[in-house]
Structure 1
């Protein structure tokens, strides 16, 4: 009877230890699983953050590019306007020179006519 009780007690002790060991390893697995989940979550957040950063970089690059394009267009328009007004100025000078020449020719013609009339008198 004593041996049987002792064997039963040892068996109970052994199974209790086995149960505790099972609980410990389950807790360990659970913790590792939690750590793994946290690690994955941190990795996911980091990937999301870097993707947003990349997109922001692309947006600001596009904005700079557009502003640069607008600036180039503005300079081109200014250059064309300067060219047009320079051409207008030159045209004005040519017309003035032509008028001046015609006026001179007209004066010479009148002077010639006057001399001719004077000779005829």
Structure 2
């Protein structure tokens, strides 16, 4: 199936937002937590920083490694979105549109925050 340029842009923005949602956003922390160990370290100023390290071995370790890699998760999200678009277009077209609009919002918010901080 051939994608139009508009469909490709919408899918790209949707994959970006969905990947960010799964890998970074606080709201999906409950999905990531079974696959990571928290390590707390003090920096040179005495402030504690918490690092998430993928669990070792087994399926939890594998999924932890996957979720710690933005690029890896993005590939799986792209596969998921494309397959859904092809096999369940009535469900995925609105879903992808919503995710794409959210992706545009996230990009604009990041740009504004970056601009304000300079």
Structure 2 length-normalised TM: 0.25
Which one scores higher on RCO, CA 8 angstroms, separation ≥ 6?
Answer: 2
The structure carrying a bigger strand percent of its residues is 2
The structure carrying a bigger helix percent of its residues is 1
Structure 1 length-normalised TM: 0.25
